[in-house]
């Protein structure tokens, strides 16, 4: 037997302008603009009231179950409120530098020297460049932004050390070849990046050049 559908009244088929007006009016209601925590607490209050009302009309066993549910809800409320009220400005862990877990420049440099002494120049070069990058970020010479590449870091740092721009570009290329291209590097390549890190660590940056028309800032990957 075919299913007959009643025609949709014209009043329920608004034109685009009227539909937009309905949506705007609906979204202007106060409940859509209440803070998240307030809405969450209001929802839990309604749930509490509903469970309490059900418990009063139920058997002793059902009442016990309802009380248990209420205890669980209260525990969830405590956890949720603590998370929602956590200070968002509290400092988190140090940002990862070029694919590494947050570590100090000296820790990266020590790892590079250890790897070099152990005959692992590839690891030594990667850690040496991470030391250089982390040091630049810590000194405020490069702005931390998501997605900063080795080449971008070298470009951003070059205005502060114009005499070492070529060395920075070469170090960035070596990092990319080893870290992303998985190409081998010799000990001299690792030593060159360690030497560059030491040179820039002790050098005075040209802040006039560094604060010029440098591209907008960047956290390296």
- Read off the pLDDT band of 120 (50, 70, 90): very high
Q: For residues 73 and 112, which has the higher predicted lDDT (pLDDT)?
A: 112
- Rounded to two decimals, the pTM is 0.53
- Read off the pLDDT band of 112 (50, 70, 90): very high
Q: DSSP readout, 101-137?
A: -S--HHHHHHHHHHHHHTT-HHHHHHHHHHHHHHHHH
| Least confident interval from 48-57, 135-144, 169-178, 187-196 | 48-57
pLDDT at 180 over 50: yes
The full set of domain ranges for the chain reads: 16-84, 105-210
Q: For residues 214 and 196, which has the higher predicted lDDT (pLDDT)?
A: 196
Question: Which pairs count as long-range contacts for 69-75, CB under 8 Å and 24+ apart, including other chains?
Answer: 73/44, 73/47, 73/48
Mean pLDDT of the region 137-152: 88
Q: For residues 35 and 169, which has the higher predicted lDDT (pLDDT)?
A: 169
């Amino acid at each position: 037997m075919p299913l007959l559908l009643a025609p949709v009244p014209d009043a329920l088929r608004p034109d685009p302008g009227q539909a937009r007006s309905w949506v705007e009016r609906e979204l202007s209601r106060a409940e859509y603009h209440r803070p998240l925590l307030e809405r969450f607490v209001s929802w839990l209050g309604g749930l509490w009231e509903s469970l309490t009302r059900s418990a009063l009309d139920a058997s002793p066993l059902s009442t016990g179950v309802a009380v248990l549910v209420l205890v669980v809800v209260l525990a969830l409320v405590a956890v949720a409120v603590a998370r929602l009220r956590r200070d968002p400005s509290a400092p988190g862990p140090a940002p990862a530098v070029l694919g590494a877990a947050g570590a100090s420049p000296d820790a990266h440099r020590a790892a590079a020297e250890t790897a070099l002494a152990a005959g692992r120049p590839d690891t030594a070069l990667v850690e040496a460049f991470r030391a250089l990058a982390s040091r630049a970020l810590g000194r405020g010479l490069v702005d931390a932004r998501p997605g900063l590449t080795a080449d971008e870091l070298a470009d951003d740092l070059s205005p502060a050390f114009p005499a070492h721009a070529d060395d920075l570009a070469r170090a960035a290329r070596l990092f990319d070849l080893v870290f992303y291209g998985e190409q081998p590097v010799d000990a001299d390549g690792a030593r060159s990046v360690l030497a560059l890190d030491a040179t820039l660590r002790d050098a005075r940056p040209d802040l006039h050049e560094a604060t010029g028309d440098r591209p907008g800032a960047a956290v390296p990957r």
